[in-house]
């Protein structure tokens, strides 16, 4: 006999990471990508990251300390939805987005002109630690995270307010189980 148990957390989880690559001259950043009031994320994270994030969870993205100094926030918000990658790449409403850069109707996928010159060089990109290339790894992805409830500070990263300083990234993975009140405090601190 098979039993499935689902644990529902009333407190959203917080996913934090450092944005290592930042290209200020690009139209938008690739991961996450903010265009036209919609923030999307589907590239540059391990596949397992997308399996555990739930709609309603928070995200807090820090700038690279080598570029802006330690503890500076670039993005903060709540995930408000998700889509399948193939739906995202083929839906006409997303075709002009910076991170909508593949044609999945070819095998392997082919690049379009989106995505800028700094990322995803196709089959000529340097290999990853596991021997694959980003171009090939992207074709394994199945989910795009969406947010319409976020703040983008990429043009002027901000420090965490003292009321939520305990949520700072400490270099230990992606998740941090928030305490009751942390989600509300983070939302209030950044007017989400």
- What stretches of the chain adopt beta strand conformation (E)? 13-19, 33-35, 38-41, 58-63, 72-78, 81-84, 102-103, 110-111, 143-147, 149-152, 158-159, 175-177
Burial of residue 179 (CB within 10 Å: 0-12, 13-18, 19+) is exposed
* 127-180 pLDDT tens trace: 667 666 566 777 888 899 999 999 999 888 999 999 998 888 777 666 677 777
pTM score: 0.81
Among 62, 16, 41, 36, residue whose Cα is nearest residue 154? 62
Torsion of CA 172, 60, 23, 80, to 10 degrees: 130
- Between 57 and 169, where is the model more confident? 57
Respond yes or no on whether the N-terminal peptide bond of residue 188 is cis (omega within 30° of 0): no
Compute the distance between CA of residue 27 and CA of residue 90 in angstroms, rounded to an integer: 21
The pLDDT value given to residue 7: 42
Compute the distance between CA of residue 56 and CA of residue 42 in angstroms, rounded to an integer: 17
Among 80, 82, 62, 81, residue whose Cα is nearest residue 70? 62
pLDDT at 87 over 50: yes
Task: Give the C-alpha distances (Å, rounded to integers) separating 33 from 56, 92, 97, 135.
Answer: 18, 17, 8, 18
Query: How many other C-beta atoms can be found within 10 angstroms of the C-beta atom of residue 115?
Result: 21
Mean pLDDT computed over 9-36: 73
Torsion of CA 188, 17, 57, 29, to 10 degrees: 90
Cβ–Cβ < 8 Å for 88, 42: yes
Compute the distance between CA of residue 11 and CA of residue 108 in angstroms, rounded to an integer: 40
- Between 9 and 101, where is the model more confident? 101
Respond yes or no on whether the N-terminal peptide bond of residue 70 is cis (omega within 30° of 0): no
């Amino acid at each position: 006999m098979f039993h499935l148990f689902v644990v529902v957390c009333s407190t959203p989880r917080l996913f934090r990471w450092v944005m290592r690559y930042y290209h200020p001259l690009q139209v938008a950043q690739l991961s996450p990508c903010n265009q036209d009031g919609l923030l999307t994320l589907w590239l540059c994270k391990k596949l397992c990251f997308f399996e555990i994030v739930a709609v309603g969870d928070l995200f807090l993205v820090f700038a690279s300390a080598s570029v802006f100094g330690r503890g500076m926030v670039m993005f903060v918000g709540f995930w408000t939805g998700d889509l399948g990658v193939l739906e995202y790449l083929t839906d006409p409403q997303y075709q002009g987005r910076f991170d909508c850069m593949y044609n999945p109707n070819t095998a392997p996928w082919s690049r379009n002109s989106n995505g800028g010159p700094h990322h995803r060089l196709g089959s000529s990109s340097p290999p990853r630690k596991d021997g694959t290339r980003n171009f090939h790894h992207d074709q394994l992805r199945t989910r795009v995270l969406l947010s319409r409830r976020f703040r983008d500070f990429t043009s002027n990263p901000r420090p965490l307010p003292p009321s939520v300083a305990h949520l700072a990234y400490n270099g230990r993975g992606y998740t941090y189980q928030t305490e009751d009140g942390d989600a509300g405090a983070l939302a209030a601190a950044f007017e989400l």
